[in-house]
Each structure stands twice: as C-alpha cells, then as structure tokens.
A and B are shown apart, each in its own frame.
Chain A
C-alpha cells in the first residue's frame, strides 16, 4: 500500500514537472526576446550617440546580458575577430545558428534575428535608424505573440501535466 502510494505520488510529481517544464519554455522565450530587444536598443544608442564600432558594441553586449543572448554576442565577437574581410551578415547568421539552437526562441524569432544582421553597420545612421525601427516593430509583434502564447498555453501545459499524472495513477492503481 505504501509502495503504491509512493509510486502514485512519483508519477503525479513527474508528469506535473514535465508540464511545468514545457510551460517554462514560454516564459523563457519572453525573457530571451525581451533581452534581445534590450540589446538592440543598447546597440542603437551606442551607434548613434557614441559612434562606437560594432565589434566593441558586440563585445560589450556579450557581458551582463541574458545567458543565451550573451552567448550569441560572444560567439559573434569571436567569429568576427577570426573572419575580418568576410561578409558581416554571413558571420552573424552563423553565430545565430550555433548560439540560438538551444534557445526557447521560435523559428520566426530566429529568422528575424538573422534578418536583422543583414544590414547592420552597412549604412549611415539615418538609414540604420530606419532598420532599427522596422525590427523593433517585428520584435514587438513576436513578443506580443509570445506573451499571448504563454497566457494560453502555459497554464494548459501545467494543468495537463497534473491531470495526465492523476490519470495514469487512476488507470494503473
């Protein structure tokens, strides 16, 4: 009887944890998107006011940032250091492919991040500003979608985890 009880509790705990972990991804995606948006705001300020070089900005962004975003910029700085003379957007995309693989970002989020790098540093500040404005809008839409998804699906997965665990226990016991 005691064994059955322990087993039941374990099953419920495990399925609840699974549901919680799945729901957590939605929260992490919001965090990562927010961190990325913040990082490009810092980038814009550094570019327009300080006229700092992109490499220095990227190095700065690799510190004190959300883990995945930091990792992305760190890789970017390393790749750039080794690949001067190559196309910037190719280096940016390669860094995104490697660094964001394990992130909670959606395919569309990653595509927008890659697109963002295509014209970075290649134009004067006025046009660069337009690029920033355009991507802020795209990222804001992604963030909005991520928040809605979290509201809708996060609770569903949490409840589903608990319910699935209870159901398995009922069926088995």
Chain B
C-alpha cells in the first residue's frame, strides 16, 4: 500500500521539500498534519508537538523565526498536491477537502463560491491542512476479541472519541482484521478516508474480502451495499446525521452487522446525539471509547449496550 507521507513531501516546492525530507525519522513517522497558511507559517504537527518552518528552511519548535508562506507558494503546493488537475477534483472541492494518493486528506479554506445555495467550489485559497492517513496494521488485535459474538458473527460496534483520537485508524484495522478472518465486509467510505481510494485502488489494506463504495453518502451507500454486495458486515465512518439512522436500521433488518464511528466523549453524548434512537434501542452491543491519553488511539473503555463496562 502506498500511503507514504514522502509522497506528500514530494509535492512541495524545492526548499520546503528538502526541509521535509531532512527531518529526523522519528518526526517524519509521527506526522499527523501539515498546516499551511497564506502569509503564515508552515506548521507540522507530530506527536503533540508543533514544528515550524523557519526562514532558513529548517523545521524547529521555535516560533520566533518562522518563514511566511506566500500566496504563490501556497497555490503551487495546492496545484501540485492535486496533480495540477484541479478540474479532476471539482466534486471533492465543493466539500472543502480532497483525498490524494496515499489516502491523505487535504482540507481547503478560502472563499466559498455558491450556486443555488450549495457550495460549488472554493476560490482565493488561504489555507491548507494535509491530514496524514495512518494505517497501523495490528492495532485492533487487543480489542477484536470483544467484538466477536461467536466465531461466525460479531456485535454491532460503535467506536467513539473526540476528533484526532484514532477512530478511523482503528476502524480501518478492525475491517482488515475481520476481512482476513473470513467476513465479507462492505465499506461505505463517504469521505474516502477509510480506504483512501485513489484511481480505483484502495491505498490502505482493508483485507481481501472487503468491497468499497467510495465517495457515496452513507444513507444511500448502506442501502446500495445491502442490495448489491450482500456483505456480512457493513463498516462506515462518522455516522451522526438523522438520515443515517434509517440506513442503519435497514442494514440491521437485512441481518447485517455494523461497525461504525461517531464523534463524542461519553455515553451521555451518544444519548443526546442524532443517533439517540439507536442508542436507546440498544443496537450497539459494543461501544469502544478512545482517547489520546497517553497516546493517540488509546482505548479508554469498552462498554456494552447498557453502558456496563467490559474493560
């Protein structure tokens, strides 16, 4: 799988590219985000620290000598990251982000252009946030035993955490793990974050028995997946809209198990969210809470449908 961060580095202008490649390996391997702002510094977030590009094209934790990025430089990075093919990303741009080779996500800010009340595109781009797609094979090993109902079926599972705590990374490895164990899995990857599909190829390893419906809204994708691929399990990321509830119910009625994620801190958050109906119906028999303490992706607790702690 080609989700190497060095692919992203290669898309930067010469001076910045050199600085990125010269960073120590331990920083490179732990990069979470690269943030770039017009007339602002280029900042890398890695292991909870900020590394700022200075005027000598070197990264340091010092904020005093930061090099400001010009509009031209930002546009060059933007165009280059998009393979000089903005037209090929029209639809994604209207959502404010694009998924590039490697499954990394580039968030874009600027002036939104509206057409018929909907965002058509973004112009006058002012900042970019390149979020690294992380694939950590094996991180689901510790929790996978709690997901199994028996050897042939699993519990409906919900992974819960605030942003940047590793929900998608864990979900991805759970999918791979279950797929390798013989389950047919249908992934509805609305934001191309789970598989990181690029030109029809998954950039992350989701296992050999996994089918991926890329870029499709969850509420439609789940129904399509049920009808077209007859999976044992449907996996999707970040449910939370009211429409998602109907799609989840349809999957359950078809006898398909579900693994999904949602933003939140506690069981109470779930009871007050748009999926409260599913929580009250005790659909999710396993709810995994993640935290970034002591490290991103740490399992805080796993509870059952009644909020009773399992671990």
Contacts and interface: CB of A to CB of B under 8 A. Distances in A.
Interface in A60-94: 80, 84-88
B150 interface: no
Interface stretch (A8-16, A47-55, A141-149): A47-55
Interface string B6-43: 00001111101100000000000000000000000000
A55 B84 contact: yes
Nearest to A55: B83
A125 interface: yes
A54 B89 CA distance: 12
Nearest to A92: B84
Given A122-B79, A124-B121, A85 B10 contact: yes
Given A85-B12, A85-B13, A123 B84 contact: no
Contacts of B17: 85
Contacts of B76: 85-87
Contacts of B77: 85
A128 interface: yes
Interface in A80-126: 80, 84-88, 120-125
B192 to A, nearest CB: 15
B90 interface: yes
A48 B13 CA distance: 28
B86 A124 contact: yes
B1 interface: no
Nearest to B9: A85
Contacts of A51: 85, 87-88
B120 to A, nearest CB: 8
Contacts of A88: 79, 84
A85 B77 CA distance: 5
Say which size band chain A's interface belongs to. Answer: 20 to 34
Nearest to A129: B87
Given A85-B77, A87-B72, A121 B85 contact: yes
Contacts, number: 61
Contact of B87 (A84, A86, A128): A128
A85 B19 CA distance: 13
Contact of B88 (A52, A85, A86, A87): A52
B304 interface: no
Given A121-B79, A122-B79, A124-B121, A85 B87 contact: no
Contacts of B13: 85-86
Interface string B63-81: 0000000001000110110
A54 B86 CA distance: 9
A85 B86 contact: no
A125 B85 CA distance: 10
Interface in B51-70: none
Nearest to A80: B84
B84 A54 contact: yes
Given A84-B10, A85-B11, A125 B79 contact: no
A92 to B, nearest CB: 10
Given A84-B10, A84-B11, A86-B76, A121 B84 contact: yes
Interface string B91-114: 001000000000000000000000
B303 to A, nearest CB: 45
Nearest to A58: B84
A53 B12 contact: no
Nearest to B15: A85
A54 B83 contact: yes
A73 to B, nearest CB: 14
Nearest to B83: A53
A54 B88 CA distance: 9
B16 A121 contact: no
B12 A123 contact: no
A123 B79 CA distance: 10
Nearest to A87: B76
Nearest to B94: A124
Given A51-B85, A51-B87, 20 more contacts: A53-B85, A54-B84, A54-B85, A55-B85, A84-B10, A84-B11, A84-B80, A85-B11, A85-B12, A85-B14, A86-B14, A86-B80, A87-B72, A121-B79, A121-B85, A121-B87, A122-B86, A124-B86, A124-B90, A124-B121
7 contacts: A47-B88, A48-B87, A55-B83, A85-B16, A88-B79, A88-B84, A125-B87
Interface of A: 47-48, 51-55, 80, 84-88, 120-125, 128
7 closest A-B pairs by beta carbon, nearest first, are A121-B84, A85-B13, A53-B83, A51-B88, A125-B87, A53-B85, A85-B12
